[in-house]
Amino acid sequence: MFIYLCATLVSASSWTARTYPKEQVDIWTQRLGPVSDVNSEFASLDSVTMDDTESNDVDFDARTRWPGFISDSRDPGMCCGLYAFAAASMATDRLAIHGVATMVVSPQHMISCGTTCRGCKSCSVYETADNLKSIGVISESCFPYVSERGRVPQCPANCQNGSQISPIKPKYVYREFTVKDDVYANGPVVFIMNIFPSFNRYSSGIYYPASTERPMGSEPVVIVGWGTDGDSEYYIVKCFRGVLFGERGYARVRKESKLWAGSGFGVEFEQ
Ligand SMILES: *[C@@H]1O[C@H](CO)[C@@H](O)[C@H](O)[C@H]1NC(C)=O
């Protein structure tokens, strides 16, 4: 029965599975936020649209459009701080793309200093966007990540080396956008993906869950591009599961509405 199910799963979809260590899968599962209902009031408040209007490229990948400017996937460890990693990753990439600063943005800053939501827990898109707007971003070298075991240090008064903290404040943090247009023009964007059990076995290819699967929760990812595979379209997403997950930390995920909660946010910095 088990073999039959696996064979069906792999042949019915255009992705390959692999078995990750159980301890790793347990951590991924424990870190999930609530399932995002595409029909919920919360999601419908966001004017994010999944359709492209101007950016009609059939394929787009920020990693080839802006070589060397897209940061690798990081893994928060046993801290449910994916919201801060997603925000920091998007900010790192966009600061580089727009020539504002070359630095790895500190996720610890938002985990310790977030105003609307902080700590090793799941924060919503609204709360994370609000945090980014109010505290801005600082570098990883100023405040390195230390929460991988769930310990959350207090918001510090100074950088690790004693120098003054001087955050870069965003010009805009926005939750209304069209995914493809925004990625095409501005760079990677944070989006919420519903996670189905089979995603914890994703190795490569164009992922989509079996029709019988139910979502277990959600996690923030960063959309870096898109493509088409036969009749189906997919997004290329950076997951916050480290570079050993999927395609070097990335996954290609079908544009199926049950996977996408329809909510996310972008950031723009003063150039
Ligand atoms: C201290 O760290 C900050 C942030 O990484 C850096 O900008 C600054 O140059 C450092 N100062 C010294 C004296 O090393």
What is the domain-level CATH number for residue 113?
3.90.70.10
For ligand 1, what atom is nearest to the CA of residue 161? 1
C-alpha 159/C-alpha 156 separation (Å) is 7
Q: State CA 38 to chain mean position distance.
A: 18
pLDDT in tens, 137-192: 999 999 999 999 999 999 999 999 999 999 999 999 999 998 999 999 999 999 99
pLDDT at residue 6 tops 60 = no
To 10 degrees, what angle do helices 125-135 and 82-97 make? 50
Q: Whose CA is nearest to atom 11 of ligand 1?
A: 163
Give me the pLDDT at residue 58, please: 84
pLDDT at residue 229 tops 50 = yes
Give me the pLDDT at residue 19, please: 97
Burial 65-88 (b: 16+ CB within 10 A, else e): bbeebbbebbbbeebbbbbbbbbb
Strand partners, 267: 173
Return phi, psi of residue 40, to 5°: -70, 160
The parent domain of residue 205 ranges over: 2-269
Residues within 6 Å of ligand 1 by CB? 139, 141-142, 159, 161, 163
For the record, the structure tokens of 64 come out as 């080839």
Query: Structurally, how many domains does the chain consist of?
Result: 1
pTM passes above 0.85 = yes
